[in-house]
Amino acid sequence: MSNFKITDIVGVIPALITPFDENENFDEGRMRNVVDFLIEEGVHGFYLTGSTGEGFLMTPDERKKVVKVVVDQVNGRVPVIAHIGAISTKISIDLAKDAYETGVDAISSVPPFYWKFKDNNIFKYYEDLSGSTPLPMIVYNVPLAGLFGFDFIKRLSTIENVKGIKYTAYTHQDIHKAKAQIGKDFMVYSGADEMAVSGLFNEADGIIGSFYSMLADVYVDIYNNIKAGEFSKAQIKQKIAVDIIEASLKYDYYAVIKAAMKWMGFDGGYVRRPFNNLSSCEEEKVKDEFRKIRDRYGVEDIRVLKSI
């Protein structure tokens, strides 16, 4: 069963990639290596099988397998949040129950999407999921699935077991408002990688993001800098991260993250179609852009920039 309370889940939490092999099969060995690498880099937890983990490109059984492998490899060292979202409430409940039995510390879900569901449909979806296990539920406010207004976030917070939100929106005043109006123990995780500093300034308990698998050292430094009151240091690291992210977004950025992990010696494997892996030519172009960023800032202490 779970090892951590929801209030223990703080800090830098990578939205974990899922390594696939050349034939698009889940690669357990690579997954275990990635987990150990990121824990050694100082991350404070993991968020599994979400968008970054290509969860919607996997079958439910594949998603369950990923959760089992990661929980086993983590072995209680850091908290694990399993994303169990699907359009179907029935599928999500099945994933939630399996994640609970596997031993995750919390579950999370995007709202049901594709059809334009009414607020009452979405509320009932979270109510059903939250009642399916004793685990805390972290709702997910993300543009891809449709953003919630603050009043609806407050309404969702009234559901038993809804204990927090992954807030991937840019209205960061709502992070502060959630802590002030819902309660200090309602956990808020800033989900915009480019705005980690802003999220933490606005009282986010932690940051969850795609690029933390590739830039774990940068974001751990940002988190520690903010906690130590070293705001100018955090701001510089954030600027470097933004430049790296913008260079990566010219391609299928999950492929860039996985390629960059390979350069660092911790192979992230391949993406699953319809995403495209980087060609050798594209890899060299990305490296060239990263070198320009390294030279522009004169940095020598960021792992991915040292690896090229």
Torsion of CA 59, 54, 8, 78, to 10 degrees: 90
SS3 193: helix
**Which position among 125, 140, 254, 270 bears the catalytic label?**
140
Q: Out of 163, 166, 237, 258, which one is annotated catalytic?
A: 166
| Distance, CA of 273 to CA of 252 (rounded, Å) | 11
Q: How many residues does the chain have?
A: 308
Q: What is the distance between the alpha carbons of residues 81 and 84, in angstroms, rounded to a whole number?
A: 9
Strands 46-48 and 80-83: parallel
Alpha-carbon span 161 to 143, nearest angstrom: 24
| Burial class, 45, CB count within 10 angstroms (exposed 0-12 / middle 13-18 / buried 19+) | buried
Q: What angle do CA 121, 168, 193 make, to 5 degrees?
A: 160
Euclidean distance between CA atoms 231 and 222, whole angstroms: 9
Answer yes or no: 100 catalytic: no
Are 53 and 18 in contact by the 8 Å Cβ rule? The answer is yes
Residues annotated as catalytic (active site), given as ranges: 140, 166
